[in-house]
Amino acid sequence: MSQIPPLFKREFLGYFRSPVAYVFLVVFLMASVGCAFFLGGFFRNEIAGLDSYFQFLPWLFIPFISAVGMRLWSEEKRAGTIELLFTLPVTTLEAVLGKFLAAWAFLCLAILLSFPMVLTVAYLGDPDWGVLASSYLGSMLMAGGFLGVCSLTSAFTKNQVVSFVLSVFVCFLLVLLGWSVFTDFLGGYLALPAWLVDVVSNFSFKTHFDAFAKGIIDPKDVMFFLSLAGFCLFLNVLVLDR
Amino acid sequence: MIEVKGLVKDYGALRAVNGVSFTVRRGDVLGFLGPNGAGKSTTMKMITGFLRPTAGSALVNGHDVTAEPVVVKRLVGYLPENAPAYPEMTVGEFLGFIAEIRGFRTVELSRPRIEHVIDLCHLGPVRRQSIETLSKGYKQRVGFAQALLHDPPVLVLDEPTDGLDPNQKHEVRSIIKQMAAEKTVILSTHILEEVEAICTRVIIISRGQVVVDDTLDGLRARHAGARLDEIFRQLTQTDT
Ligand SMILES: Nc1ncnc2c1ncn2[C@@H]1O[C@H](COP(=O)(O)OP(=O)(O)OP(=O)(O)O)[C@@H](O)[C@H]1O
Ligand SMILES: [Mg+2]
């Protein structure tokens, strides 16, 4: 595991050596804050909280985290640097973790850059700090879950477009399963038994994230995101080791 | 010391390497020859632990690459074909990263190694340039510098002089020659003068199989009077 720090450092700084970081951070911020203002009614609903920001994150994460994740392994394969990386004295697990953690740290940075909204809320009203903290924690954990999936899909192909489309599709499914419109459809229109609907929606990012957004930090939800990321990374190692 | 025993690699239905065996000792510079697509690069990728052999084994200083990949990777300096490197990094940043991964974790440790290879490979003028903007020859030199950085006991070089100008070709050859006594070197090439200039032994492979494994003198003695390129053509004719 001692090789993770140099890998992490190279990967994390790599975002800032190319336009990727700047384009991503600016556009993500515009999109997430824009959604909060125009769709979520940040000012209109006169609540001292960031619900209007967090409620759109699961949907926004689908394209944005797929965009970060698609390059993780596809780019190494395309550029041939994977041959360099895997003939350096690192294990596959170290390489997978180093890259994943760097991308995750980058995503956490993107999420935390919304802190001016926190300041605004604190200035205008009296927010529930517990709910804010758990929402941020939940977003970061959810980002880790998404990223695990995207890292895995990008290990399958050297084509970044294929990797992106695959990631978006899988992540979309994982969000959709817990969307109330979809679960209502399952329970009402298809008349599936309630327990089955619960089982299905239990696989969704959204179901587990919604608890955080309400201020509930349930170990089950934390475990969901961590074990999902862990499981994907485990498969990721297997795929690369083939 | 490199010991290769019965290496086989299948890409789907294609058998790219078919039962290659040889041994390279310390002090040897092995020239690895063969027509395009003969399986040279594939064999090197298996020795360095990038590809898993379909069958057979490769040992570096007694360590099996499949069983102890990280140990082998520490011992080997490898220049892959086309010298891949992270395009967005500068030459200095890239060598710094390699130094850290190779265990030179502090500036005091890594600085002298980096300066040494930058001098050796004449990378001074481009050390602050990003790798994607380098010419082919400079990129190749970065790959060579990267392989030498930790002063490895074993060197595996896939077409090390590819794309270099005549001066640099000469330089790289003399660097290899100087280091050869205390290292195990295996290099592939299409330049037969290069083999005559630096290699102590020659292996020619064709269609994934070894057709010649001999010293340079031995090879010449067997084909009295013939030039190396004539011998090469004779032995590998069936491929072209
Ligand atoms: N990733 C791959 N998938 C399928 N076939 C491959 C792959 N890599 C190499 N091959 C095939 O394996 C054979 C050996 O290729 P290799 O690159 O080892 O040849 P080489 O001797 O290095 O040739 P060159 O002199 O052109 O570098 C070739 O027929 C090649 O087409
Ligand atoms: Mg080759």
Total domain count for chain A? 1
Residue B130 DSSP symbol: B
**For residue A7, which of A66, A81, A59 has the smallest C-alpha distance?**
A81
- Which residues on chain A are in Cβ contact (under 8 Å) with B103? 89
Task: State residue B239's pLDDT score.
Answer: 52
Residue A124's contacts (CB-CB under 8 Å, 6 or more residues apart) are A48
pLDDT, tens digit, 9 for 90 and up, residues B71-124: 999 999 999 999 999 999 999 999 999 999 999 999 999 999 999 999 999 999
pLDDT digits (tens, 9 = 90+) for A94-105: 999 999 999 999
Is the minimum distance from the CB of B189 to ligand 1 under 6 angstroms?
A: no
The confidence score (pLDDT) of residue A113 equals 92
Residues of B in contact with A242 (CB under 8 A): 52
Note the pLDDT of residue B130.
95
Pocket test for ligand 1, best of B8, B14, B205 (most atoms within 8 A of CB): B14
Ligand 1 in contact with B36 (CB < 6 A)?
yes
Nearest CA, atom 29, ligand 1: B37
Q: How high is the pLDDT of residue B238?
A: 65
> How many other CB atoms are there within 10 angstroms of residue A44's CB atom?
9
**What confidence score (pLDDT) does residue A116 get?**
87
Domains of chain B: 2-239 (3.40.50.300)
* Burial of B67: CB neighbours in 10 Å, binned 0-12, 13-18, 19+: exposed
Q: Could you tell me the CA-to-CA distances from A14 to A57, A210, B88, B144 in Å, in that order?
A: 25, 33, 7, 22
Instruction: Output the CA angle A104-A34-A164, nearest 5 degrees.
Output: 45
Report how far ligand 1's centroid is from the alpha carbon of B159 (Å).
14
Q: Which residue has tokens 């086989």?
A: B8
Residues of chain A neighbouring B101 (CB-CB closer than 8 A): 3, 6-7, 88-90
Q: How far are the Cα atoms of B21, B49, B159, B206 from residue B37, in angstroms, in the given order?
A: 18, 20, 14, 8
Tell how far the Cα of B191 is from the centroid of ligand 2, in angstroms: 13
Nearest to A104, CA basis, from A220, A172, A15: A15
Ligand 1 atom with minimal separation from the B39 CA? 18
Are the C-beta atoms of residues A167 and A149 closer than 8 Å to each other?
yes
User: CA B158 to CA B80: how far, in whole Å?
Assistant: 5
User: Measuring CA to CA, which residue among A135, A196, A143 is closest to residue A174?
Assistant: A143
Residues in chain A, how many? 242
Quick check: A1 contacting B, CB < 8 Å?
no
Residues 35-74 of B with CB under 8 A from A: 45, 48-50, 52, 69-70, 73-74
Q: In the prediction, which pLDDT does A46 show?
A: 66
Query: So what's the pLDDT on residue A189?
Result: 79
In this structure, what token pair is assigned to residue B73?
């990777």
Supply the pLDDT for residue B229.
83
Q: State which amino acid sits at residue B215.
A: T
Q: Say if CB B77 and CB B149 are below 8 A apart.
A: yes
Evaluated on CA atoms A106, A109, A113, A118, the torsion sign reads positive
User: Would the CB atoms of A88 and B100 count as touching at under 8 Å?
Assistant: no
> What percentage of residues in chain A have a pLDDT greater than 90?
60
Residue nearest atom 22 of ligand 1, based on CA coordinates? B41
Please give the distance, rounded to the nearest whole angstrom, from the Cα atom of residue A98 to the centre of ligand 2.
30
Domain enclosing residue A49, as ranges: 4-241
- Nearest by CB to residue B49, choosing from A10, A81, A87, is A87
Tokens of residue B174, six digits: 């003399």
Ligand 1, residues B33, B40, B79: which to mutate, most atoms within 8 A of Cβ?
B40
Looking at beta carbons, which residues of chain A come within 8 Å of B85? 81, 84
Can you give the length of chain B in residues?
240
Nearest to B85 among A3, A81, A90 (CB): A81
Q: Which ligand is nearest to the CA of B35?
A: 1
Q: How far is the CA of B166 from the centre of ligand 2 (A)?
A: 21
Per-residue pLDDT of chain B (240 residues), as tens digits, is 999 999 999 999 999 999 999 999 999 999 999 999 999 999 999 999 999 999 999 999 999 999 999 999 999 999 999 999 999 999 999 999 999 999 999 999 999 999 999 999 999 999 999 999 999 999 999 999 999 999 999 999 999 999 899 999 999 999 999 999 899 999 999 998 899 889 999 999 999 999 999 988 888 888 777 788 888 888 887 654
Q: How far apart are CA B37 and CA B41, in angstroms?
A: 9
Q: Identify the three-state secondary structure at position A164.
A: helix
Under a CB-based contact definition with an 8 Å cutoff, are residues B66 and B6 in contact?
no
Q: Residues A93, A97, A100, A102: is their CA dihedral positive or negative?
A: negative
Residue A188: is its pLDDT beyond 90? Answer: no
Q: Which atom of ligand 1 is nearest to the CA of B14?
A: 5
Q: Is the CB of B41 under 6 A from ligand 1?
A: yes
Q: What is the pLDDT of residue B224?
A: 76
CA dist A157 → A91, A166, A229, A236, B64 (Å): 20, 10, 19, 12, 29
pTM value is: 0.92
With a 6 Å cutoff on the Cβ, whether B152 touches ligand 1 is no
**pLDDT value at A38 more than 60:** yes
Residues pairing with B201 in the sheet? B30, B215
- Nearest ligand to the CA of B33 is 1
Please write the tens of the pLDDT for every residue from A135-185. Answer: 999 999 999 999 999 999 999 998 999 999 999 999 998 888 877 777 777
What ipTM, to 2 d.p.? 0.93
